[in-house]
Amino acid sequence: MPQLTTAADPLADYDRATSVLVASSRGTLLTHGIRAAVDGRLDTLPARAAAILGADELVAGAISFDGAADLLVPESATWSPALPAGAPAFLRGGWSTRPLPSPADYIEAVRQALVELSTGRLDKVVLARSLELRSNEPVNVAELLRPLLGHGYAFAAPLPSGTTLVGASPELLVSRHGLSVVSNPLAGSAARSPDPAEDRRRAAALLASAKDRREHRLVVEAVTEALQPYCAHLDVPRVPELTSTDTLWHLSSRIVGRLRDPDTSVLTLAAALHPTPAVCGTPTAEARQLIQRLEPIDRGHYSGLVGWMDARGDGEWAVAIRCAEVAENTLRLFAGAGIVAGSDPAAELAETTVKFQTMLRALGADIDARHLERT
């Protein structure tokens, strides 16, 4: 059973091979050692996790976009207060980059998606691209994590391949604490500006954008539909609000519910929700098929889930975005954009470039954004 204690600096005991870190405004979880591994498909996880967890234990880790779980039951865990962000960068220079697909090919994929959207067979599809970074020195994952703390849901999870999933997501898929359920979907984005007046103008334009409001509504409707069977009450905002990260404005809706059945675990809710239109599209099956046809990359754990659940069924699962898979001296960053009728291919490419900046800033990698968009 894990001994739940408090650590002044949880990253001091972080072990890349065996630790899961999940940090949010509620606090910082860091696991130590591995008592058991929990794999399998997302739809079977609630029963599998419940069967293996002792009374004071928890399960934590990552779930891929395709629903394959890479979770662990730790030997021990520490809970600490929410931590502020550390130094903004730990490595400078020495990076080679390789975008996949190329900017031109990504624009072409968006154009093809718009043709599919025009047939009426689907309303939205999310197309992702990756950026491979290679350094001349090994990447220190613990130090990469420090500048990500204090930014939404910071996380690190070991993967079977020997890589580590690292990121700072602004988006909560679902949390459960007792009978209280929260989901906070984000959809519709605009780049921030360093000029305060221009930044306010961009925020106002996003909030007024019919295209972005339509994209956001598709996600909120899907989340609401998935949660309704489990909740006796759901409070769904009628209109979205603005929320922001250092690099982007987002349309946000905080959906709050109360469970009908106290035995419904957070993993049961996550299985009902994933993948939302925020990371896949709608209808889901048609969007998945188009993603498989148009994306030349394996998403892996990007746009999957990362989080934890305890033996009571409480827990928190964030959407695995603004992230990278880290090997020894190589990182694969991921970013995606929601394509709906009216999307502009060049603008969607630019949006993915901005989304790469969360990880690029943490690295201190001096990479010209124009390079990431040059067609």
Give the CA dihedral 232, 60, 154, 93, nearest 10 degrees: -150
Task: Give CA–CA dist 92/375, Å, rounded.
Answer: 26
Structural domains of the chain, count: 1
Secondary structure element (H or E) that encloses residue 355, with its range: helix 345-363
Query: By C-alpha distance, which of 190, 104, 186, 118 is closest to 340?
Result: 118
* Structure letter (DSSP) for residue 321: -
Active-site annotation, residues: 124, 171
The more confident residue out of 96 and 65 is 65
Range of the domain at 304: 4-373
- pLDDT tens, position by position, 32-71: 999 999 999 999 999 999 899 999 999 999 999 999 999 9
Please check whether residue 152 is in contact with residue 306, taking contact to mean a CB–CB distance below 8 angstroms.
Answer: no
Strand bridging mode 248-252 / 172-177: unpaired
**pLDDT score at 368:** 59
CATH number of domain containing 217 = 3.60.120.10
Per-residue pLDDT tens for 77-86?
998 887 777 6
For 220-241, write each residue's pLDDT tens digit: 999 999 999 999 999 999 999 9
Local confidence band at 242 (pLDDT 50, 70, 90 cut-offs): very high
